Amino acid sequence: MSEFLSDDKLVVGSKVLEYAGVEVVLEQACTYKTIEAAKLVAKLIGVIDVEAILPQLIAATKAQDQASLVFLAQKLLPMIAEEAPEVLLTLAALAMAPNTDLRTGFRRPNGIKKVVDENKEWLLFVAPPEASIEIAAEYIPYLGIDRLKNAISPLIAKLSGLVEIRVEEVEETTKKAP
């Protein structure tokens, strides 16, 4: 597994978790890590058919009894059993990879895959079972999604302006056509 950042090189606001005697540093994501993690999160969310379980979810929330929660879990587990473990494992392995290691790996064939696979191996055979879930959950704030959201609003506004211009051009062209 790769070396983690030393205390003097921690990104401001980073978090250190410890599993099996190894410090896992969660640092602010680089763009590559944000993009890849966003794909994994979307995949994880996509596995759960919220519409199919919405009535049970509402009932379980209102009832707050054990039977409702068990019924809901029985509905959820098949949806996530196949995809979720691998996605969570990959997300955690990516999250714990220092940005510098990913950058170095980017320059080599399969270099990033190697870094992530080494972390996966550690998560599978050394870390406790809950580590990948905890790392993934703790890492979400470090993805920079809030910054992307703020940056994308002006882009959408400009693109929508282009779409409006294009629609007006098409309408004018169709009006002129005989």
Q: Is residue 28 classed as helix, strand or coil in its secondary structure?
A: coil
Structure tokens at 31: 């763009």
In the chain, where the domains are located: 7-48+86-143, 145-178
Adjacent-strand bridge partners of 26: 15
Question: Residue 42's pLDDT is what?
Answer: 82
Quote the tokens at residue 71.
Answer: 């019924």
Residue 9's closest CA among 33, 37, 28? 28
Task: Tell me the two tokens of residue 53.
Answer: 């379980």
Q: Quick one: which H or E segment has residue 24? A: strand 22-26
Which of 12-16, 56-60, 110-114 comes out lowest in average pLDDT? 56-60
Helices first, then strands: H and E counts in the chain: 8, 2
Average pLDDT of every residue of the chain? 77
Q: Tens digits of per-residue pLDDT, 9-56?
A: 444 567 888 998 998 888 888 889 988 988 888 887 776 666 766 676
Asked which of 44-48, 91-95, 105-109, 127-131 is least confident by mean pLDDT, the reply is 44-48
Confidence of residue 119 (pLDDT cuts 50, 70, 90): very high
Asked whether 92 and 84 are in contact (CB, 8 A), the reply is: no
pLDDT of residue 110: 94
Convert the pLDDT of each residue in 131-148 to its tens digit.
988 888 888 888 876 666
pTM reported for the whole predicted model:
0.64
Transcribe 73-120 into DSSP letters: HHHHHHHHHTTHHHHHHHHHHHHTS-HHHHHHHHTSTTHHHHHHHHHH
Distance CA 58, CA 164 (A): 40
DSSP code at position 127: S
